[in-house]
Structure 1
Amino acid sequence: MNFYFVTAAMLAFAIGLAHSWLGERYILMRLFRRADIPHLFGSDEFTKRTLRFAWHITTVALFGAAALLLIVASFPLDATARRFSTAIAVTFLASAVVALIGSRGRHLSWVVFLLIAVLVWLGMR
């Protein structure tokens, strides 16, 4: 097994868990208590449900990336695995840049995203 890919997968899974739990607790619940949430289709319920599932789709995507990394870690690196790994590394690098710029460095997810990208890159070497 490729140590770098497995470590990156564990980080992707961990940040997915943190995103889901912390976001639900500290962002969504507080947001849903507000009285000024837009009403779509007659109430704010559709808006709340949409925000909740959109939030948790990110977690599903992070878990999917972790699963792909574990699959790639389990086999020798061929050309296809390198392409998948490159796509994953670039995606996490882009995520790091967006989180860094978007939060002006205050949201520390960029550090984990960058670490995942670097680990995947090292795993391809």
Structure 2
Amino acid sequence: MNLLLLASALLGFASAIGHAYLGERFVLAPLFKAPGDNRVLKTATSRRLIRWVWHLPSFAWAQIAGATLWLALDPAAMGERAQTLLLFLGVGVYMTGAVFNAWAMRGPHVGNILLTLASLALWFAITGGSRPFD
């Protein structure tokens, strides 16, 4: 079993669960509880849409983490092309989330740290530190 793949999967799951649970508790619930004069937040349809958009990154991170865990537990399950796809999709999604989180938070935050580590672990696990097409 590749420990870097396992680490990437666990970090991806931690990011997804933390974003979904903590976001629901500390961002969405207070936002929806006190909408103030914002008519968008008073509409049930808008609240459902905002909630879905909030949880979409968590869902994507969990799917990538699941595929990474599958590869970690059964290396023969994926061919080289599938691993390359997982590499670019996983690193692309994780690092995009990390960069935008760092930008939004204006600095280090547990979310961008976990996603960066998940991305780097996935990269080094699949490539061994080299470029994937060498």
What's the TM-score once normalised by structure 2's chain length? 0.80
Other-structure match for 2:59: 60
Runs of 4+ in 1 over 6 A off after TM superposition: none
Which residue in the other structure is 1:117 paired with?
A: 119
Q: Which runs of 5+ in 1 are unaligned?
A: none
Matched residues, number = 123
* Offset, 1:31: 0.6
Write the letter of the residue equivalent to 1:36: D
Structure 1 length as normaliser, TM-score?
0.85
In structure 1, what is the equivalent of residue 97 of structure 2? Answer: 95
Q: 1:39 to 1:102 in 2, by over 3 A?
A: closer
| 1:106 Cα offset (Å) | 4.9
Q: Give the letter for the 2:26 counterpart.
A: Y
Q: How does 1:1-125 map to 2 (within 5 A)?
A: 1-32=1-32, 33-39=34-40, 44-73=43-72, 74-76=74-76, 78-124=80-126, 125=128
CA 107–37 in structure 1, closer or farther in 2 if over 3 Å, else same: farther
List gaps (5 residues or longer) in structure 2.
129-134
Shift of 1:24: 0.8
Name whichever structure is richer in helix by fraction: 2
CA–CA separation in structure 2 for the residues paired with 1:109 and 1:34: 26
